[in-house]
Amino acid sequence: MSIERELSKRSGAKCELCGAEENLKVYQVLPTRKGGLDESVFACNTCIDQIENPDNVDLNHWRCLNDSMWNENIPVQVVAWRMLSRMRAAGWPQELLDMMYLDDDTLEWAKATGEGEDDENKLVHRDSNGVVLQHGDSVVLIKDLKVKGSSMVAKQGTAVRNIRLDHENAEYIEGKVDGQQIVIITQYVKKI
Protein backbone atom coordinates (compact mmCIF):
# COMPACT_ATOMS: atom_id res chain seq x y z
CA MET A 1 0.00 0.00 0.00
CA SER A 2 1.37 3.46 -0.90
CA ILE A 3 2.18 6.05 1.76
CA GLU A 4 -0.53 8.33 0.39
CA ARG A 5 -3.20 5.63 0.80
CA GLU A 6 -1.96 4.74 4.29
CA LEU A 7 -2.00 8.40 5.35
CA SER A 8 -5.44 8.87 3.83
CA LYS A 9 -6.68 5.90 5.85
CA ARG A 10 -4.94 7.13 9.04
CA SER A 11 -6.40 10.63 8.68
CA GLY A 12 -9.87 9.68 7.45
CA ALA A 13 -9.08 11.44 4.12
CA LYS A 14 -8.70 14.83 5.88
CA CYS A 15 -5.83 17.19 6.49
CA GLU A 16 -4.30 16.02 9.77
CA LEU A 17 -3.69 19.64 10.75
CA CYS A 18 -6.80 21.64 9.77
CA GLY A 19 -9.35 19.00 8.72
CA ALA A 20 -9.68 20.18 5.09
CA GLU A 21 -10.86 17.49 2.66
CA GLU A 22 -9.50 18.84 -0.64
CA ASN A 23 -6.04 19.19 -2.23
CA LEU A 24 -4.41 16.73 0.16
CA LYS A 25 -0.93 15.33 -0.25
CA VAL A 26 1.92 13.74 1.65
CA TYR A 27 4.16 16.20 3.52
CA GLN A 28 7.45 14.79 4.83
CA VAL A 29 8.44 16.29 8.17
CA LEU A 30 12.13 17.22 8.00
CA PRO A 31 14.72 16.20 8.93
CA THR A 32 13.86 12.63 7.98
CA ARG A 33 15.73 9.59 9.20
CA LYS A 34 13.96 6.72 7.44
CA GLY A 35 11.14 8.53 5.66
CA GLY A 36 7.78 6.87 5.29
CA LEU A 37 4.58 6.91 7.27
CA ASP A 38 6.19 7.64 10.65
CA GLU A 39 7.75 10.85 9.34
CA SER A 40 4.88 12.16 7.18
CA VAL A 41 1.67 14.12 7.57
CA PHE A 42 -1.36 14.14 5.26
CA ALA A 43 -1.92 17.87 4.73
CA CYS A 44 -3.73 20.31 2.48
CA ASN A 45 -2.00 22.75 0.13
CA THR A 46 -2.91 25.69 2.40
CA CYS A 47 -1.18 24.16 5.43
CA ILE A 48 1.88 23.05 3.42
CA ASP A 49 2.26 26.49 1.83
CA GLN A 50 2.16 28.20 5.23
CA ILE A 51 4.58 25.67 6.78
CA GLU A 52 7.10 26.19 3.98
CA ASN A 53 6.60 29.97 3.62
CA PRO A 54 6.54 31.73 7.02
CA ASP A 55 5.54 35.02 5.36
CA ASN A 56 2.22 33.45 4.28
CA VAL A 57 1.11 32.43 7.78
CA ASP A 58 -2.53 33.22 8.56
CA LEU A 59 -2.94 33.09 12.35
CA ASN A 60 -6.67 32.35 12.16
CA HIS A 61 -6.08 29.33 9.90
CA TRP A 62 -3.88 27.76 12.59
CA ARG A 63 -6.47 27.94 15.37
CA CYS A 64 -7.13 24.37 14.22
CA LEU A 65 -3.98 23.37 16.15
CA ASN A 66 -6.06 23.58 19.31
CA ASP A 67 -7.39 20.16 18.25
CA SER A 68 -4.65 18.68 16.06
CA MET A 69 -1.87 19.21 18.63
CA TRP A 70 -3.46 16.31 20.56
CA ASN A 71 -3.21 13.96 17.55
CA GLU A 72 -1.70 10.58 18.50
CA ASN A 73 0.64 10.61 15.49
CA ILE A 74 4.06 12.05 16.29
CA PRO A 75 4.69 13.83 12.93
CA VAL A 76 1.44 15.76 13.41
CA GLN A 77 2.55 16.74 16.94
CA VAL A 78 5.93 17.90 15.60
CA VAL A 79 4.36 20.13 12.93
CA ALA A 80 1.85 21.51 15.44
CA TRP A 81 4.65 22.35 17.88
CA ARG A 82 6.70 24.04 15.14
CA MET A 83 3.80 26.17 13.92
CA LEU A 84 2.78 27.17 17.45
CA SER A 85 6.39 28.09 18.20
CA ARG A 86 6.59 30.19 15.05
CA MET A 87 3.43 32.11 15.98
CA ARG A 88 3.89 32.27 19.76
CA ALA A 89 4.24 36.08 19.82
CA ALA A 90 0.50 36.31 19.03
CA GLY A 91 -0.34 35.10 22.56
CA TRP A 92 -2.79 32.24 22.10
CA PRO A 93 -0.19 29.93 20.44
CA GLN A 94 2.04 30.28 23.54
CA GLU A 95 -0.89 29.19 25.72
CA LEU A 96 -1.32 26.05 23.59
CA LEU A 97 2.44 25.39 23.68
CA ASP A 98 2.35 25.59 27.47
CA MET A 99 -0.27 22.80 27.49
CA MET A 100 1.51 20.61 24.95
CA TYR A 101 3.76 17.74 26.03
CA LEU A 102 6.32 16.06 23.78
CA ASP A 103 8.73 13.35 24.95
CA ASP A 104 12.46 14.19 24.67
CA ASP A 105 13.04 12.51 21.28
CA THR A 106 9.96 14.11 19.73
CA LEU A 107 10.89 17.55 21.12
CA GLU A 108 14.42 17.18 19.72
CA TRP A 109 12.94 16.37 16.30
CA ALA A 110 10.56 19.34 16.55
CA LYS A 111 13.44 21.70 17.39
CA ALA A 112 15.72 20.33 14.63
CA THR A 113 14.68 23.08 12.19
CA GLY A 114 15.30 25.88 14.69
CA GLU A 115 11.65 26.66 15.41
CA GLY A 116 11.08 27.64 19.00
CA GLU A 117 14.46 29.29 19.51
CA ASP A 118 14.67 33.00 20.21
CA ASP A 119 15.63 34.87 17.06
CA GLU A 120 18.78 36.23 18.67
CA ASN A 121 19.95 32.71 19.62
CA LYS A 122 18.82 31.02 16.43
CA LEU A 123 21.53 29.90 14.03
CA VAL A 124 20.69 30.89 10.48
CA HIS A 125 22.54 29.07 7.71
CA ARG A 126 22.89 31.12 4.52
CA ASP A 127 24.38 30.24 1.15
CA SER A 128 26.86 32.40 -0.78
CA ASN A 129 23.99 34.65 -1.95
CA GLY A 130 22.51 35.10 1.53
CA VAL A 131 19.58 32.74 0.91
CA VAL A 132 18.48 30.89 4.07
CA LEU A 133 19.20 27.15 4.00
CA GLN A 134 16.93 24.57 5.64
CA HIS A 135 17.28 20.86 6.45
CA GLY A 136 16.60 18.85 3.30
CA ASP A 137 17.44 21.62 0.83
CA SER A 138 19.58 20.98 -2.24
CA VAL A 139 22.65 23.07 -2.99
CA VAL A 140 25.31 23.22 -5.69
CA LEU A 141 29.01 23.76 -5.06
CA ILE A 142 30.32 27.03 -6.52
CA LYS A 143 34.01 26.13 -6.17
CA ASP A 144 36.19 22.99 -6.26
CA LEU A 145 36.69 21.91 -2.63
CA LYS A 146 39.40 19.65 -1.24
CA VAL A 147 37.94 17.29 1.35
CA LYS A 148 40.11 17.25 4.45
CA GLY A 149 41.36 13.83 5.47
CA SER A 150 41.01 12.36 1.98
CA SER A 151 42.33 12.78 -1.53
CA MET A 152 38.84 13.59 -2.80
CA VAL A 153 38.03 16.89 -4.51
CA ALA A 154 34.36 17.93 -4.62
CA LYS A 155 33.99 19.56 -8.02
CA GLN A 156 32.32 22.88 -8.76
CA GLY A 157 28.78 22.35 -10.03
CA THR A 158 28.22 19.19 -7.96
CA ALA A 159 24.68 19.03 -6.56
CA VAL A 160 24.35 18.09 -2.90
CA ARG A 161 20.83 16.94 -2.02
CA ASN A 162 19.08 16.62 1.34
CA ILE A 163 21.59 18.69 3.33
CA ARG A 164 21.73 18.71 7.11
CA LEU A 165 22.50 21.81 9.17
CA ASP A 166 25.17 21.95 11.87
CA HIS A 167 23.37 23.03 15.07
CA GLU A 168 26.50 24.58 16.55
CA ASN A 169 27.97 26.53 13.63
CA ALA A 170 25.98 28.53 11.06
CA GLU A 171 28.80 28.22 8.52
CA TYR A 172 28.69 24.41 8.27
CA ILE A 173 26.29 22.06 6.52
CA GLU A 174 26.60 18.33 5.83
CA GLY A 175 25.79 16.41 2.69
CA LYS A 176 26.81 13.49 0.51
CA VAL A 177 29.20 14.00 -2.38
CA ASP A 178 30.10 10.92 -4.43
CA GLY A 179 28.55 8.72 -1.72
CA GLN A 180 30.69 10.21 1.06
CA GLN A 181 29.21 12.33 3.87
CA ILE A 182 31.20 15.57 4.14
CA VAL A 183 31.04 18.91 5.94
CA ILE A 184 30.76 21.90 3.60
CA ILE A 185 31.27 25.59 4.37
CA THR A 186 28.12 27.53 3.40
CA GLN A 187 30.04 30.29 1.59
CA TYR A 188 30.90 27.74 -1.12
CA VAL A 189 27.35 26.65 -1.95
CA LYS A 190 24.32 28.07 -3.70
CA LYS A 191 20.77 26.88 -3.01
CA ILE A 192 19.11 25.19 -5.98
How does DSSP assign 59-124, residue by residue? Answer: TTGGGGHHHHTT-SSHHHHHHHHHHHHHHGGGSHHHHHHHH----HHHHHHHHTTSTTS-TTT---
Contacts 24+ apart (CB under 8 A), 18-27: 18/44, 18/46, 18/47, 18/61, 18/62, 18/64, 18/68, 19/64, 19/67, 19/68, 20/44, 20/46, 20/47, 27/51, 27/79
Q: Is the pLDDT of residue 73 over 60?
A: yes
Q: How far apart are alpha carbons 75 and 162 in whole angstroms?
A: 19
Q: What are phi and psi of 182, to 5 degrees?
A: -130, 160
Work out the average pLDDT over 115-136: 77
| Secondary structure (3-state) at 39 | helix
Which helix (H) or strand (E) segment holds residue 44: the answer is strand 40-44
Top pLDDT among 174 and 168 is at 174
Cβ atoms of residues 112 and 164 within 8 Å? no
Top pLDDT among 121 and 172 is at 172
pTM over the 0.75 mark: no
Domains of the chain: 3-120 (no CATH), 139-191 (2.30.30)
Q: Which residues pair with 185 in a beta bridge?
A: 172
Q: Is the pLDDT of residue 118 over 60?
A: no
Q: Is the pLDDT of residue 53 over 70?
A: yes
Rg (CA), the chain: 18
